[in-house]
Amino acid sequence: MKQLIDIQPCPQWAKKLAALHPGDLTSAEQANLQAHIQSCPACAAVIAEYREMDARILALPPVAPLPDLPLPLRAAFGETAQQETIHVTEQAHASRHSTILKRKPPRPTSRFARAASAFAAVLVVAALIAGFLLLFTAHHSDIGNVPSGSKVVVVASERNDGTIYAIRPSDGAIYWHQSIGKQLTGALVVTRDVVIVGSYNGHVYAVNKRDGSVLWDRSIGTAALPPFASDGTAVYVSGENAVYALRTSDGEILWHRGKTQGCDNGACTNVAMGASGGKVFAFFPDGLYALRAADGTILWRNPVFRFTTRSFVLLNDKLYLPVEAKGLVYVLSTGDGNMVHSPLSFIKDQPIEMVASSDVVYVDSGGQEITAIRASDDRALWRKHFDTVIIGLSSSSDGRLYVAQTTTYVSSIQIIGQPQPTVTSSGYSTDVYALNASDGSILWRWQPTNASGGSSDIAAADGNMYVVIGDSLYALHGSDGKVLWRALQGEQLSSPVIG
Amino acid sequence: MFSAISGDFIDEPARQEAPAISSEVAEQARAGDSQAFTTLFQTYNSQICTYLARLVGNDEVGRDLAQETFMRAWESLPAMDQPLHFKPWLYRIATNCAKSYLRRTRLIRWLSWKDEETGPLVQGPEERTGETECVQQAMASLSPQCRTCLLLQLVGGFSQREIAELLHISEKSVSAYVSRGREQFRREYRRRKGETA
């Protein structure tokens, strides 16, 4: 193995060394940097390496551009090659062309026509304003405080205004909405009394679950990324460089673990975590850490499991960690971080998704089969094979497993005379499944008729399930898949959380 | 005395520079001129495809998203803010398309498996990778934010200030993302090259 020589740039110059665009630094800053580089071999080597890395990225094999405008645009522009014979080929599960609003090019207009157009425009604007006000009123006519002890469905807007919505599960009515004013990351946790969200501006916000009033706002310096975890006393927040424990009641930072443990010189990113049994589990670049929830003390570190996908499961003092490339699920003891037994084997190189419910871990392997594993002894209770792909295992509740599957449709045209078909459009559809948790059989399947985007994770409780599909939040009856309500149409929403 | 060693390894990066485009063309496209929009498409087609392919780590998906980007651009042009800054606006649409794609298809893998020789899984020779794979894997190891900022600078040619305006985040954040992205990329690339040497 080649010996690596680790070169560290001077910390105070690190950001300037990376600012390689000519417009990034002022001429004075550039002069200072050059002077420093002349006298510092480490920084000179680092900036040279940055340039080398840039060159390597730019030297990647070129990406072939689109051969022409997208077909719908060509059609809209009236340039569809009618003379060519076009065969539409089904490449995926089905073929579906995306639709596009055709913009009409402006026509020369007479003065009368312009005046009429202006008048019409005024009417249209008035109608739009009225419609908007109606819509706004419909969306935001809050019904008031959440009754004590009641559950709410909470979702956060991904728009710049950072609005949090508390929804009544029974009918989709909005108890309250609170605009944070900053774009939220989708990190969201609900405790008994508090809703806590993370933002891209490096702040964590807590609002009162009862009425949505802001309780506290704490800066952690970097974007507060999902997932958050909470044990009621504290919320455990993953920043880009560290894990923070914030006291739920007032946002006080109880402890944080980051740069000195596991992150070298800001290279720590993407911390995934979970909290259970007085411990917090966090993945850092140099391993999986178990931290004491009370004070952040390192209880153990397993250097082998530096990274994982997001769907790890914590159950019965065990951590279930999927390694998709090997088709394995490792089972570690939360007590010491060692493997409890040899890994469980599944289909290699296929996505592994897991959910847990009471004493059972359900593992979806490649969307082709679901295995129920009894957590007490990690033995398979049942294994269900599917003829069709069912991927997107997301939640387990009330004896049912819920799957939200988004399918990408790719269609292509094969133009005679051209060797390769050309991808011309794509679309997305979502299927929601409920499976029987006792044997994996499909109880029902539901597909929204007008979904325009992918699906979120599913939250389920008290016989119903909640999912964001496209631009709306849906509630479905768990027993038969009937739509109970649809809310917040037109919003860009995070995954719902119930609490 | 030490010199900055630029050029010792590889020549200065050759970015795909799109030819300068006049703001009138974008104005004409906004007014519904399909020929003007076709000109914009031809100007930015290659850049946007490259940017998106690198961002999502897949050429085919990148091209698919580029189609979506241009279709959205055509639909949204009439509502485009004044004054016209077409290129950053187009990149913002492209970035949002990629973000939506990553979200809906759950392709954001938080992290990847560590190749630990002493661990239970010993990396086999079949997993040893070449230069292209090393660069792609190092790029894939970056967080979406770092990757986006780095590619906007490298492929799009934007300064940190322009990226901040484009993404609606602070210049300080962009500086941190770019710095962290470069450092992490450098380390990951060297680690992989070290292992494969």
**Each residue of B23-68: pLDDT tens digit?**
788 888 888 888 999 999 999 999 999 999 998 888 888 898 999 8
pLDDT, tens digit, 9 for 90 and up, residues A195-212:
999 988 889 999 999 999
Which of A63, A330, A408 is nearest residue B53 as measured by Cβ atoms? A63
From chain B, the residues in CB contact with A97 under 8 A are none
Tell me the nearest-neighbour CA distance from B178 into chain A, angstroms: 7
From chain A, the residues in CB contact with B77 under 8 A are 103
Q: Structure tokens of A93?
A: 């599960």
Q: For an interface test with A, which of B71, B169, B177, B190 has the most A Cβ atoms less than 10 Å from its Cβ?
A: B71
The mean pLDDT value for A10-35 works out to 83
Instruction: Give the residue from B143, B59, B149 showing the smallest Cα distance to B109.
Output: B143
From chain A, the residues in CB contact with B115 under 8 A are none
Q: What is the side-by-side order of every strand in the sheet holding A184-190?
A: A184-190, A194-199, A203-208, A214-219
CB contact under 8 A, A53 and B186: yes
Tell me how far apart the alpha carbons of residues A243 and A230 are, in angstroms, rounded to a whole number: 13
From chain A, the residues in CB contact with B145 under 8 A are 223, 240
Strands A379-385 and A400-415: unpaired
For A381, the 3-state DSSP assignment is strand
Q: Does B176 touch chain A (CB under 8 A)?
A: yes
Give A83 or A191, the one with higher predicted confidence. A191
| Whether residue A163 has pLDDT greater than 90 | yes
- The answer as to whether A218 is a domain residue is no
Rounded to two decimals, the pTM is 0.56
From chain B, the residues in CB contact with A270 under 8 A are 110-111, 143
| Whether residue A111 has pLDDT greater than 80 | no
Per-domain residue ranges for chain B? 20-108, 129-197
Do A468 and A495 contact (CB within 8 A), yes or no? Answer: yes
In A, minimum Cα distance to B29 occurs at A105
**Minimum mean pLDDT range among A16-20, A27-31, A118-122, A267-271:** A267-271
Contacts of A338 (CB under 8 A, 6+ apart): A302, A332
- The answer as to whether A23 is a domain residue is yes
Q: Does B17 touch chain A (CB under 8 A)?
A: no
Q: Does B15 touch chain A (CB under 8 A)?
A: yes
Which of B64, B77, B169 is nearest residue A410 as measured by Cβ atoms? B64
- The answer as to whether A46 is a domain residue is yes
- The answer as to whether A178 is a domain residue is no
Do A166 and A152 contact (CB within 8 A), yes or no? Answer: yes
- Write down the pLDDT at residue A177: 95
| Whether residue A104 has pLDDT greater than 50 | no
State which of A108-122, A261-275, A294-308 shows the largest mean pLDDT. Answer: A294-308
For residue A15, CA distances in Å to A19, B166, B171 come to 6, 20, 12
Tell me the nearest-neighbour CA distance from A144 into chain B, angstroms: 32
> What's the ipTM?
0.77
Give B170 or B87, the one with higher predicted confidence. B87
Give A231 or A360, the one with higher predicted confidence. A360
**Minimum mean pLDDT range among A4-13, A164-173, A239-248, A301-310:** A301-310
Which of B116, B132, B180 is nearest residue A60 as measured by Cβ atoms? B132
Do A195 and A166 contact (CB within 8 A), yes or no? Answer: yes
Query: Chain-wide mean pLDDT for chain A?
Result: 77
pLDDT, tens digit, 9 for 90 and up, residues B109-144:
332 223 322 332 223 333 334 788 888 888 888 888
- Write down the pLDDT at residue A417: 56
Please tell me the total count of domains within chain A: 1
Contacts of B136 (CB under 8 A, 6+ apart): A60, B57
Could you tell me what percent of chain B has a pLDDT over 90? 17
Contacts of A96 (CB under 8 A, 6+ apart): A409, A411, A425, A427, A429
For residue A14, CA distances in Å to A105, A259, A417 come to 51, 15, 54
Contacts of B50 (CB under 8 A, 6+ apart): A62, A63, B16, B62, B155
Tell me the nearest-neighbour CA distance from B160 into chain A, angstroms: 6
Q: What is the side-by-side order of every strand in the sheet holding A318-323?
A: A313-315, A318-323, A328-333, A344-345
CB contact under 8 A, A55 and B78: no
| Whether residue A56 has pLDDT greater than 50 | yes
Tell me the nearest-neighbour CA distance from B89 into chain A, angstroms: 16
- Write down the pLDDT at residue A352: 83
- Write down the pLDDT at residue A350: 74
Q: Does A3 touch chain B (CB under 8 A)?
A: yes
Tell me the nearest-neighbour CA distance from A148 into chain B, angstroms: 34
From chain A, the residues in CB contact with B31 under 8 A are 105-106
Q: Which single residue is written with the structure tokens 């309500």?
A: A485
Name beta bridge partners: A364. A353, A370
Do A252 and A244 contact (CB within 8 A), yes or no? Answer: no
The mean pLDDT value for A451-471 works out to 84
Q: Structure tokens of A18?
A: 């990376």
Tell me how far apart the alpha carbons of residues B196 and B129 are, in angstroms, rounded to a whole number: 7
Grade residue B19 by pLDDT with cuts at 50, 70 and 90: low
- The answer as to whether A309 is a domain residue is no
- Measured in whole angstroms, the distance separating CA A352 from the mean position of its chain's CA atoms is 17
- The answer as to whether A154 is a domain residue is no
Burial class (CB in 10 A: 0-12, 13-18, 19+), A269: buried
For residue A358, CA distances in Å to A233, A375, A399, A426, A437 come to 23, 9, 10, 40, 12
- Write down the pLDDT at residue B8: 26
Q: Which single residue is written with the structure tokens 């090019």?
A: A105
For A450, the 3-state DSSP assignment is coil
Could you tell me what percent of chain A has a pLDDT over 70? 76
State which of A102-116, A207-221, A271-285, A358-372 shows the largest mean pLDDT. Answer: A207-221
E strands, A389-463, are: 393-397, 400-415, 422-436, 442-446, 459-461
Which CATH architecture fits B20-108? Answer: Orthogonal Bundle (1.10)
Instruction: Give the residue from A142, A129, A205 showing the smallest Cα distance to A488.
Output: A142
- The answer as to whether A262 is a domain residue is no
For residue A34, the enclosing domain spans: 11-58
Tell me how far apart the alpha carbons of residues B65 and B58 are, in angstroms, rounded to a whole number: 10
What is the phi/psi pair of residue A371, to 5°?
-120, 135
Tell me the nearest-neighbour CA distance from A245 into chain B, angstroms: 21
**Minimum mean pLDDT range among A44-48, A185-189, A354-358, A408-412:** A408-412
For residue A8, CA distances in Å to A1, A259, B185, B187 come to 21, 15, 14, 10
pLDDT, tens digit, 9 for 90 and up, residues B59-113:
888 898 999 899 888 888 887 666 678 888 899 889 988 887 776 554 333 322 2
Do A274 and A229 contact (CB within 8 A), yes or no? Answer: yes
Tell me how far apart the alpha carbons of residues A304 and B118 are, in angstroms, rounded to a whole number: 8
Could you tell me what percent of chain A has a pLDDT over 90? 28
CATH fold for the domain made of B129-197 = Arc Repressor Mutant, subunit A (1.10.10)
Tell me how far apart the alpha carbons of residues B58 and B194 are, in angstroms, rounded to a whole number: 25
- Write down the pLDDT at residue B21: 64
- Write down the pLDDT at residue A327: 83
- Write down the pLDDT at residue A88: 27
